């Protein structure tokens, strides 16, 4: 007889988020527009409650539930914990901006919780159907959030592009999954892995299905040549939505990649390693080189994201447990840097105008020296300059690739990273040495000042002492993949 209680316990964090997403939406119907601080508090409490329950599971052996469709393990603990913290920070950064733009609605908060639910399902999936359900839930919420500002033509255009390309990528991923099901007779990731290990699947047909799986993963990460949506969506979406898209969903994409590639398709790693290598090198090259020519700050950060995805794929490409550990560390650092960058842009945007162009940052130091300092630390970290955490994150990925013998790939990656330093230092030069376009001083809300200061401080502290987070990431990968 199935013990329903033990199964429900495994998915308790997901239940909390799902229930509270609906509660927030319902409560919003009965409160005034000026009283939305209550549902904001409900949303933050939901994240706290889910975090406490998830942390209570601790590092442990995998716990399967609902006919082995859902798994709770050290990987899910690591990625979910980071997702809660990151989303909580993103909501703090977004609050005042959305109020000024009259976009602070219950729908926004509910959609963010539903998108988190999709992320959690993808992270804890042990079954292709659960992965696809989580992916579609996440994608539909993000499409809606991009179009949140309905009167903005750029936002509407970006949402349509994102929807069309996202639907295509989802279809390709689903086709790849259907091929794996047709070959193995199961949607269970472990059963698929066993079928491959026993040579029960025709190799040529398996590789054909693998291509569609890798394409789906690459699109969700924003890797070249499946990056077309990234610059347009980043530019068209409201700043808080761009921040959300560029940060928390990366945990879901990494979790999905680990489940599919390292657990389900590990016996054909030599095949997907070649695909990831090509995409990693192309992402670094096109991301860094194209970013140099950008004048829009959001498009520049979009191409910066593509180059960072190249490093994430390089870590995956190494094919080792240490490589996965370096990826888990890197994605945490990347999200922290992205939150700081977009959070700062949100903080210095005004009710009448956003920070859109790189030239809008001219003379920022004379208008608010604290804001310039935070953005300088963030840019240095994104560039991978010590003693920031960005340097150690890149170093750990390069080291894992070098240990597996990918010498020329590491050399190329270092060269691309050096090229990328230029456009990050250009931001610092503009802030400190160019005359400001506007002379007015910039005021930052107290809560954002405090959290952004902690965020920027973490980039330095984790760079000087990365041991705790790195140990957390390495332990998660080791327990999950041993």
Q: What is the pLDDT of residues 100-159, one digit of tens each?
A: 888 888 889 999 999 999 999 999 898 899 999 999 999 999 999 988 877 778 888 888
> Nearest-CA neighbor of 350 among 262, 409, 438, 464?
438
- Mean pLDDT across the chain: 88
Per-residue pLDDT for 2 more than 60?
Answer: no
Q: What are phi and psi of 60, to 5 degrees?
A: -155, 170
Report the half-sphere exposure of 441 (CA within 13 A, side-chain side).
5
pTM of the shown model: 0.93
The mean per-residue pLDDT over the stretch 286-305 comes to: 92
The mean per-residue pLDDT over the stretch 80-96 comes to: 93
d(CA 160, CA 472): 39
Is residue 16 classed exposed, middle or buried when 0-12, 13-18 and 19+ CB atoms within 10 A define those classes? buried
The mean per-residue pLDDT over the stretch 73-82 comes to: 90
Q: What is the pLDDT of residues 25-66, one digit of tens each?
A: 998 888 876 667 888 899 999 999 999 998 887 766 677 777
The mean per-residue pLDDT over the stretch 96-100 comes to: 85
pLDDT at 1: 44
Q: Count, in order, helices (H) and strands (E) of the chain.
A: 21, 2
pLDDT at 281: 93
What is the percent of the chain where pLDDT is above 70? 97
Q: Work out the number of other CB atoms within 10 angstroms of the CB of residue 197.
A: 12
The answer to whether the beta carbons of residues 241 and 145 sit under 8 Å apart is yes
The answer to whether the beta carbons of residues 222 and 305 sit under 8 Å apart is yes
The mean per-residue pLDDT over the stretch 268-276 comes to: 84
Per-residue pLDDT for 312 more than 80?
Answer: yes
* Locus of tokens 């993103």: 90
The mean per-residue pLDDT over the stretch 398-418 comes to: 90
> Nearest-CA neighbor of 93 among 307, 248, 230, 221?
248
Per-residue pLDDT for 412 more than 90?
Answer: yes
Written as six digits, the tokens of 336 are 């922290």
The mean per-residue pLDDT over the stretch 369-385 comes to: 92
Residues 6+ apart with CB under 8 A from 116: 17, 47, 83, 84, 87, 248
The mean per-residue pLDDT over the stretch 167-183 comes to: 87
Per-residue pLDDT for 418 more than 90?
Answer: yes
pLDDT at 3: 67
pLDDT at 229: 87
d(CA 97, CA 376): 22
Per-residue pLDDT for 319 more than 90?
Answer: no
């Amino acid at each position: 007889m199935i013990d329903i209680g033990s199964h429900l316990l495994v998915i308790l964090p997901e239940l909390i988020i799902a229930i509270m997403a609906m509660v927030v939406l319902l409560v919003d119907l009965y409160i005034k527009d000026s009283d939305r601080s209550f549902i904001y508090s409900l949303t933050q409490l939901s994240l706290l409650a889910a975090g406490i329950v998830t942390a209570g599971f601790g590092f442990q052996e995998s716990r399967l539930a609902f006919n082995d469709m859902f798994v709770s393990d050290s990987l899910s603990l690591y990625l979910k914990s980071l997702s809660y913290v990151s989303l909580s920070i993103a909501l703090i950064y977004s609050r005042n901006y959305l109020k000024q733009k009259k976009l602070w609605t219950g729908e926004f908060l509910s959609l963010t919780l539903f998108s988190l639910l999709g992320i959690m399902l993808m992270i804890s999936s042990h079954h292709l159907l659960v992965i696809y359900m989580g992916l579609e839930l996440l994608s539909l919420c993000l499409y809606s959030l991009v179009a949140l500002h309905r009167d903005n033509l750029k936002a509407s255009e970006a949402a349509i592009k994102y929807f069309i390309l996202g639907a295509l990528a989802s279809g390709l991923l689903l086709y790849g999954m259907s091929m794996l099901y047709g070959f193995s007779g199961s949607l269970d990731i472990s059963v698929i892995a066993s079928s491959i290990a026993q040579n029960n699947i025709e190799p040529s047909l398996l590789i054909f299905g693998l291509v569609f799986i890798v394409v789906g993963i690459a699109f969700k990460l924003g890797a070249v040549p499946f990056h077309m949506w990234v610059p347009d969506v980043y530019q068209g979406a409201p700043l808080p939505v761009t921040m959300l898209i560029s940060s928390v969903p990366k945990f879901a994409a990494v979790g999905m990649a680990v489940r599919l590639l390292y657990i389900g398709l590990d016996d054909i790693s030599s095949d997907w390693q070649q695909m990831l290598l090509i995409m990693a090198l192309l992402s670094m090259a096109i991301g860094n080189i194209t970013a140099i020519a950008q004048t829009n700050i959001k498009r520049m950060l979009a191409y910066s994201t593509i180059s960072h995805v190249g490093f994430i794929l390089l870590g995956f490409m190494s094919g080792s447990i240490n490589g996965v550990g370096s990826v888990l560390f890197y994605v945490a650092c990347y999200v922290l840097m992205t939150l700081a960058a977009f959070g700062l842009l949100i903080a210095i945007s005004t009710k009448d105008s956003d920070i859109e162009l790189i030239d809008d940052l001219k003379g920022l130091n004379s208008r608010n020296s604290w804001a310039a300092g935070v953005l300088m630390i963030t840019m240095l970290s994104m560039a991978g300059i010590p003693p920031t955490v960005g340097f150690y994150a890149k170093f750990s990925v390069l080291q894992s690739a070098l240990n597996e013998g990918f010498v020329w790939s590491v050399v190329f990656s270092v060269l691309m990273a050096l090229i990328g330093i230029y456009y990050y230092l250009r931001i610092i030069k503009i802030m400190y040495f160019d005359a400001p376009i506007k002379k007015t001083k910039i005021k930052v809300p107290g809560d954002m000042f405090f959290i952004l200061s902690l965020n920027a401080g973490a980039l330095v502290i984790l760079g000087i002492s990365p041991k705790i987070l790195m140990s957390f990431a390495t332990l998660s990968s080791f327990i999950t993949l041993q």
